[in-house]
Structure 1
Amino acid sequence: MADYELTNTAEWDSEYTPATKPDPEDGWQEVAKKVRASKTERQPASSLPQSVQQSSCRKPRQKNETGRQRQPPVSQPRALLDKWQKDGRVQPPQQQLRPSKFQVSDDGEAEAAWRAHRNPVGEVRIPEFLAFSARQHETIARRCGAFIFNRNEESIGGEKIYSIWGDKKAFERTVQEIGAWIKAATSDIKRGAASKFAKVISQTPEERRRSDRRWRREVQRQTYRQNPPPEKRFQAMGSFHWPIDECRPDEVLGSSYEALDPIRMDCSCHITFHAGLGVFRVAGTASEVKAGLQRLRQTCFQIAARQVFPVRKYLLRWPQETVPDYLYLEQYDHPVSLTYESTQLTNHGRSPRGEYLDEDARPARAAMETAVNTRRVRNMIISMLGKLHYFRGSIQMRIRLGTLLLKQYKPPADDIYDLEEYERMTNETQFQAEVTQELGDRPIEERLLDYLQQHAGSLLSPLEATISELHEVKPTLFATFTFHDSAGDLCLTIEWHEALEHMNSDRVEYVEKERKWTRFERDSGHATPLLDINLTDLNSGWAWQFDILASQPLDERKVPNTLQNFANSIRVDAPSAAKLKAKAPIALRYNALSDLISVQERTCYGYVIANSEFNLEISRYQNRIYHPRSSTSTLEDAARSSSRAGPDVYEPRWSLSVYRQAWDTFFNENERLPVGQGVKWNSEMTTWFPADIGSEASEKEDVGWSQLMDNLGQIEALIAKLRAETHEEDEDLLGGMKVA
C-alpha cells in the first residue's frame, strides 16, 4: 500500500505544481513580525557537493556504447543558453485545431436553384430500366454543370421524366450527353460506344417492382434536401441555436448546409438556417423533429471533436534502474542519401545520452519515475480516445521503437546538461523532439529480423495460423505516395500480399489487397498528430513513441483522373524466391507525375506477441523524395514527367512497431462516421488494452496495459542483447585487425 500511495503521490506531483511550504507556526501571523529568510539561505544548494564532485569516480561506459569519454564537471553546470537551436524542420507551435469543413460537394448554382424550388430549364426522358439500375444521368449532369431530378413519380411509356436545372448551355450539353448514353445503352448495333458506360443488366418483373419502390423512396428522401414549401404545414417545429463561436455554420457545413443532407433524409425533416437569429429550424412530425435536433446536436460534437488540442509529451523511463546525473548530446547519422554514389549525403542529428556516478545510481527513484510516467502515458491515451467519439476522419494508433532526436532545444552552455535542467527544458512549449522511424543503429537493424526469428520463439508467433515457424512468415508490401495539392497534400497507400497461385513457379507474384486515399491538412505535408508521447531511456537513447495520427479520408471518385490512372498503373515486379528469402528490395514500377512529392516502399513482417492480441511488425523501408513543381498536375505535365529530375533515394532502413488489429477496426467507424452520429466503441482501458489470453481474472482495469508494457520491455531487452553482441563482435574484429 505504501508503494502504491508513493507512486500516486509522485504522479500527482508531476501533473500539478506543488503548493508553497506552509508556515511552521500555528494560527495567524502578523506580516510585520514575519522574519524574512536571508538571501544566502534562499540560494539552492549545489546538486553535488564540491568534495564529492572532485573525488567521485564516474562509472565507466560499457564496452558496446559509443561517444567520447568525458569527466563529470567540477562544478554545477551553468544555465542553458537562452537561444533555441533548431535541427531540421520543426512542427508549428502546439495549438488547438481549427474546425475543418465536412467532406461534401458544394452546391452549384443549379442545385441551389432546385433547393429553392425554382422552375427547371427543361426536361429529358430516361428509360425506366436505366433510371433504376444506374445513376449515370446524375454524373453527366454534374459534369455539365447542371442538376437533374425527377419530380413526377409516374412513368409515361416506360420512361421517367427528369427536370434539369442550370443555365441554357449546361442544359443543352446535359441533354446531348444523356441522349448519347441512352442510345449507347439501348442499341445493339453500336457496341463500341457501350464500353464507355456501365453495363446495364435486364431485370425480371419482380426485380423491376422492387427497384421502382426503392427508387420512389429515394426520390421522396431527396425532397427533404429542398427548402420546405411555403404552403406546407408541419406537425412540429424545433429550434437549435448554433453554439460554436469560432466559425459560421456555412464555413463547415457548406453554402446550402448540404452536410446536413443525410440528417434531412434519414429523419425525414426539413432543416433551414436563419442567419439573423443564428438558429436552425427543424420541421416535420414530432418524432422526426426530435431525431433531427438530436443529430444536429451531435453534429456540433463532431465539429468540436475536430478542435481537439493535440497532446505532445516527452517523458523518461529507466529500465536499467539507473538515473544519470548529467546528459550530453551524441551525434546521430540520419539515413544516407544514395543519389550521388561518389558523395553520399549524410545529415546529422543530436540524441541525448546519460552519464552517471558510481555513488548515485538511484534505483528507487528510477523505479518510481518509470512507473509514474508509464501511468501518465496510459492516462493521456485514454483521455485522448475519449475525445474521439465524434471525430470524423482516418485515424491510426501505433507504438514504435526508435531513437530520440532533439529538434528544437537550448544547447547547454558547457556542452553538458544537468538532468533537472534537461527535464525543465522538455516541459517548455518551445521544446521539440522526434523519434526516428528507423531503430537507429545500422548494424543492429541489418541483423534484427534474423535475430528475432532465431531467439524470440517464446515471445513471438507467426501472424498467420497456417504457419508454425517464425522464419516462414511471408512479407506484405506497402507503398505510400504523397502528391502536392493546394487544398492539402493527397496520400495514396497501397497494400499487396502474395498471390495464392503463381503463373511462374520461379517468381513470387503479389496482388493488390487494399487501396486508400487520404488528404493531409493544408501546408502540413503529413498526417496530423493528435497524440505524440515519447517514453525515453536516456541511457540507451531508445524511445517508445505512442502516437495517434489523423487525416481526412477521400472518396476515390473525387480523386483527379490523372492520379486515378497513376494508381492503376503501379506494378510490383515479381521477385524470385531466392531474392525474397534474402530480403532483397522489391521493385515498384510507375511513371512519376510532376506533383509527386515522395514515395515510401515498405516490406513488412508481422508476428503475434505470445498470449496477447498485440502484433509486432518489423519493416524494411526506403524513401524516395521528389521535387515537384508548384502547380498542380495536368495531363500535359504527366506527358512531360519522364524528363523530370530523378528523386533523392535514401538507404533502406528497418523499423519496429507494435499495434493491435482491433484498433484499426475501431477507427474504421470514425472513417465512415455518418453526420450527426458517434462511434459505438468506448474508451475503457479493457477495450483498448485487454489482458493477455489465459491470464487470471483481476478487478484491476490496467492489467492489460501492464502486460503490454512488460512485453515491450522484453522486446527491447532482446534488441539490447543483440546490440551488445553486435558491438562485441565489432570490437573483436577491430582487435584482430590491430593484432595482425
Structure 2
Amino acid sequence: MPSKRNNQLPLQPKYNRPNEPVRINEGQAARARGDKASGAWRFPKNLTIKNPAQIIATISGATNTSIWYDEKFEFFFWGSPDNVARAKVDLETNIIQDNPTFQHRYQSIGPPRDAQFEAMGSFVWPSKEYSPEKELGERNFDRLNQIRQENNCHIEYDVSRSSFIVRGSAVRDVQEALLRIKGLLCKVVAQSSPIQRLYLIQNDCPTLSLKDHALALVYTSGGMQQPRFGKTAKSKDSILKQEDVLVNARLMKDRVMQTLSKVHWHQGHIDFRVHLGTLVLLSYKPFTQIDLADYKDMLADSYNFRAKVTEELGDKELENSLLHRFLSATDSLDPCDRFTNDLADTKPEYTASIEVDLKDGRGNVLITKKWHQDNGTFRQSEPEYKRLEGNSGRTRFLEVCVTDTVTDLTWLLDISALKVQESTHLPQWIREHGDYYVNIDAEKARLAQSFCEFETLGRIPKPLPNKRAIREKIIWRFEMKAPYIGYEVELAKVFNKGYTPTPGAVGGREAVTWFEERWTVDVKHRQWSTQLAENHELRVGKGAEWKADIQSWFPVDSDDRQEKLKGHIVLLQVLQRVQDIVTGRSH
C-alpha cells in the first residue's frame, strides 16, 4: 500500500514550472471527452510510491497530461505522445527517488549480503554471441530473480571472465542455480537458431515439369486484385517405393528429435502439427523440365532453394468436395465428439480471433472466442487473451515437406512457437470488448459463411481501432480408427482479413485486405499438445519433463518393442490414409 507523507515532494520534475501562465490541460480535456488512453505503464510489484495523488497531480500539470491509476497500480495516460512520454519518465524518476533500493533490487533478493556462503560456482556465458544484458535483463539481469529467490542465492556477472558467479549457503541450491542459468542459455540458443528445412519427394518419377499454380484471391476496398500465381513441380507417372518411404520417415524423425531437444527449454506456446497444402517454389534454378535426381539436388541446396506450403489445400475443385468426403470416410474416421454416433452428424466448432495493437509499446493483444452447437443453440467459451511480443509472427524451428509430385500435394511437418507475454494487466476496455462485442451470427454460421461480428453488440457497432488481423475458422474434427488411434484430423474452412496501418487516418482506421475463403487439412496426435502444454508455465531456466524420443512423440498401439520404434513410419501411413480421403481414393 502507498504510504502517507508530508506535502513536500521527494523530487520536483524538471518540467514543473509553477510560475507559468495557467493553460488548458490537453490530457484532462481528452479524458473528459471519453477518449481512450494514449499510453499505459505498469508499476513494478516490489516498489512503493509515496503520496501518489500529489505526485500525479504535479506531473500531470507539468507535462500537460492526465494520469489515472487502478487498484493494481497500472497507470494510464491521456495527452499527446510526446507529453505522455515525458510524464512516464517523470513518474519513474519519482519512484526511483522514493525507493533508493530500486537501482539495487538484488539486495532484497536472496540471502542477506553479509551471509556466510558455503558454496560458490560459475557458469561461462558466451557474451559475444548472446549479450547477457539483452537476454536476461538490463537491470541486474532481473530475469534471474526467480532463480535467486527459489534457490536462495546471489548471482552476479563477472565481465572480465564473461561468467555468472553464484554464491549460496547450500551446495544443492548453487548447483541447481547453475543448471537453470544453463537452461536459459539453451532457450536463447534455440530461439536464435535458424529454422531447419527439409524437402523430401514421396514418389519415384522420371521427370518433373514446372507448372503455374493459382493462389488464393485477394480483395481490397478497391475490388479484387490481379490473380496471383506460383510455380509448382509436377510429374505424370510415378511409383511409390517402400524403401523411399522408410528413408523419408527416418530423415523426418531425426530432424524432429533434434528440434524437440532444443524446444525442450522454450517457455511459451509451441505448436506441432502436420499440414496438407501445395508446395510453391520461391527461389530455385529455372527449369522447364528436370530429372528427378537433379530436382532432389536442387531441393538439398539450402542456400539457393526455397519453397513454401500454401495454407489452403490448393485445388479449389478438390476443396469444394472435402467436407462430403470426410463425412463419408467411415472406414477410416470416427467423430471426436463422444456424443456423436454417426460420422455424418459431426458438428463443427467455430473459432474467431482478432489481433489489436494497443499502442502502449508492449506488443499486440490476440482475442480468441469459440462457439459450439448444442441442440441448435450456439454456446460460447470465455474469451482468451494473449499478449504477443511485437507482431504475431512465429518463431519457426522446423519445416519438413513431403511432396507427392503427381497430386501436387505436400505434407508440411511444422514446429513453431508463438511469443506470448503475461496478459494479466490488460486495459479494462479491451477485456470488455472481448467479453461483449465479439459475437456470432448464428444464421451465417449455419450456412458456413463468415460468421463473427467483431465490433457489434445487439446491432450497436463499437469500432475497434488499430486492428491488425482477423481470422475465422469453422472446424470439423475427426479421429483416426485403429491401427492409428490417437491421431486426429482437422478439416477447416478459413476466412482471413489483414489490416494495414494508414498514417494520418482518423481513429486508428486501417486499410483492409480480404483473402479468399479456402479449406485446410491438419493432422495431430493428441499427445503432442498435451506434452507441449508443459512449456506454457515453465519456471525460469527449467526444461519440460517430456522426453525427446520416438515413443513419446510417435506412439504406436502395440506391445511389441520393435513396433514401438516404428512410430515415424506409422505417421507417414496416417498421412497417406488422410491424403487418400482428400483425393477420393478411400472407400
Correspondence for 2:52 among 173, 176, 199: 173
Matched, 1:278 2:278: no
Alpha-carbon offset, residue 553 of structure 1: 1.6
Aligned pair 1:509/2:365, yes or no?
no
Report matched runs for 1:242-261 at 5 Å.
Answer: 242-255=125-138, 256-261=140-145
Amino acid in the other structure paired with 2:475: C
Query: What letter matches 1:496 in structure 2?
Result: K
Match of 2:298 among 417, 420, 425: 425
- Whether the aligned pair in 1 keeps the contact of 2:333 and 2:480 (CA below 8 Å) is yes
Question: What is the CA deviation profile of residues 283-334 of structure 1, one whole-angstrom value per residue up to 9, with x for unaligned ones?
Answer: 331233333233333333333333334211111001xxxx332222222111
Please identify, of 278-287 and 461-470, the stretch whose mean Cα deviation from structure 2 is larger. 278-287
| Aligned equivalents of 1:176, 1:341: Cα separation in 2 | 51
Corresponding residue number in structure 2 for 1:262: 146
Q: State the TM-score, normalized to the length of structure 1.
A: 0.61
Aligned to 2:181: 296
Per the TM alignment, residue 420 of structure 1 is displaced from its structure 2 partner at its CA by 2.6
**What is the CA–CA distance in structure 2 between the aligned matches of 1:176 and 1:595, rounded to whole Å?**
32
The 8 Å contact of residues 331 and 351 in structure 1, kept in 2 or not, is answered as yes
Q: Offset at 1:681?
A: 0.2
The 2-side partners of 1:555 and 1:393 are apart by 10
Report the structure, 1 or 2, having the larger strand content: 2
What is the CA-CA distance between 1:235 and the residue it aligns to? 3.5
Q: Does 1:437 align with 2:311?
A: yes
Q: What is the distance in 1 between the residues matched to 2:373 and 2:245? A: 45
Instruction: Give the AA of the match of 1:666.
Output: Q
Q: Which range moves more in the overlay, 325-334 or 340-349?
A: 340-349
Cα distance, 1:488–1:614 mapped onto 2, change above 3 Å: farther
1:640 paired residue number: 507
Q: Check conservation: 1:476, 1:495, Cα contact below 8 A.
A: no
Residue 237 of structure 1 and its aligned partner are, at CA, apart by: 3.3
Structure 2 residue 404 is matched with structure 1 residue 542:
no
Query: Within the alignment, does 1:531 sit opposite 2:398 as a pair?
Result: yes
What is the deviation of 1:145? 6.2
How far the C-alpha of 1:343 sits from its partner, in A, is: 4.9
Residue identity in the other structure for 1:332: H
Name the CA distance, whole Å, in 2 between partners of 1:278 and 1:350.
50
**How far, CA to CA, are the matches of 2:474 and 2:50 in structure 1?**
52
Establish whether residue 352 from structure 1 lines up as the match of residue 233 from structure 2: yes
Q: Is the 8 A contact 1:461 1:470 kept in 2?
A: yes
Instruction: Compute the displacement of 1:615 (Å).
Output: 0.6
Instruction: Name the CA distance, whole Å, in 1 between partners of 2:438 and 2:575.
Output: 36
- Would you say the 8 A contact 2:437–2:453 is kept in 1? yes
Read off the aligned partner of 1:553 and give its amino acid letter. V
Query: TM-score, normalised to structure 2's length?
Result: 0.75
In the TM superposition, residue 483 of structure 1 has moved relative to its aligned partner by 4.5
* Closer, same or farther: CA 176–614 of 1 in aligned 2, 3 Å: same
What is the 5 A alignment of 1:21-170? 164=48
- Whether 2:565 is the aligned partner of 1:702: answer yes
User: 1:521: Cα distance to partner?
Assistant: 6.7
Aligned equivalent of 1:89: none
Partner of 2:251: 376
- Within 1, Cα distance between the matches of 2:474 and 2:336? 15
C-alpha separation in 2, matches of 1:614 and 1:348: 34
Q: CA deviation at 1:342?
A: 6.8
* Amino acid in structure 2 at the alignment position of 1:600: R
Matching of residue 234 in structure 1 with residue 117 in structure 2: yes
Is residue 2:439 matched to residue 1:572?
yes
Are the counterparts in 1 of residues 127 and 162 from structure 2 also a CA contact under 8 Å? no
What is the CA-CA distance between 1:475 and the residue it aligns to? 1.6
Matched, 1:682 2:524: no
1:17 corresponds in structure 2 to: none
Aligned to 2:59: none
Q: Please say if residues 444 and 722 of structure 1, whose CA atoms lie closer than 8 Å, have aligned partners that are also in contact.
A: no
1:335 aligns with 2:216: yes
Does 2:330 align with 1:457?
Answer: yes
* TM-aligned CA deviation for residue 345 of structure 1: 3.8
Can you give the 5+ residue segments of structure 2 that lack an aligned partner in the other structure?
1-8, 12-39, 57-68, 73-104, 456-461
> How many residue pairs were aligned?
496
C-alpha displacement of 1:492: 1.4
Unaligned runs of 5+ in 1: 1-119, 123-141, 150-163, 165-169, 178-194, 199-221, 632-636, 726-740
Aligned to 2:466: 595
Checking the alignment, whether the CA contact within 8 Å between 1:144 and 1:173 is kept in structure 2 is no
Q: Within 2, Cα distance between the matches of 1:588 and 1:660?
A: 32
SS of residue in 2 equivalent to 1:234: coil
Deviation at 1:336? 1.8
1:468 aligns with 2:354: no
Provide, for residues 343-401 of structure 1, a one-character-per-residue CA deviation record: whole Å limited to 9, x for no partner.
Answer: 56421111211145xxxx6x58x443233122211221122112222122321011011
Structure 2: distance between partners of 1:239 and 1:596: 47
Contact in 1 for aligned 2:365/2:388 (Cα 8 Å):
yes
How far, CA to CA, are the matches of 2:476 and 2:451 in structure 1? 14
Aligned partners of 2:433 and 2:54: how far apart in 1?
32
Q: Are residues 670 and 709 of structure 1, via their aligned partners in 2, closer, same or farther at CA, if it must alter by over 3 Å?
A: same
Query: Percent of aligned positions with the same letter in both sequences?
Result: 23
3-state SS, counterpart of residue 489 of structure 2: strand
2:191 touches 2:395 (CA, 8 Å); kept in 1? no
Alpha-carbon distance between aligned partners in 1 of 2:162 and 2:53, rounded to the nearest angstrom: 38
- Contact 1:329–1:352 (Cα < 8 Å) also in 2: yes
What amino acid maps onto 1:294 in structure 2?
Answer: L
1:419-444 deviation per Cα after TM superposition (whole angstroms, max 9, x unaligned): 23322222222211111111111122
Indicate the residue corresponding to 1:729 in structure 2.
Answer: none
What secondary structure is seen at the aligned counterpart in 2 of 1:617? strand
Structure 1 residues 519 and 269, CA gap change in structure 2 (3 angstroms)? same
CA distance in 1: counterparts of 2:44 and 2:225, whole angstroms: 56
The change in CA–CA distance for 1:197 and 1:349 in structure 2 (over 3 A counts) is same
Amino acid at match of 2:131: R
2:61 alignment counterpart: none
Q: Secondary structure at the match of 1:540?
A: coil
**Aligned match for 2:525, one of 629, 645, 660:** 660
Cα RMSD for the two superposed structures: 3.5
Q: Deviations over 1:628-670 (max 9, x none)?
A: 1369xxxxx8x724xx465222221110000123212211222
Q: Which residue does 1:618 correspond to in 2?
A: 491
State the match for 2:370 in structure 1. Answer: 496
Task: Quote the residue 1:411 is aligned against.
Answer: 286
CA–CA distance in structure 2, aligned partners of residues 491 and 653 of structure 1: 25
Measured in 2, the distance between the counterparts of 1:329 and 1:566 equals 49
Aligned to 1:448: 322
1:390 to 246, 250, 265: 265
- 2: CA distance, partners of 1:369 / 1:568: 52
Please say if residues 508 and 574 of structure 1, whose CA atoms lie closer than 8 Å, have aligned partners that are also in contact: no
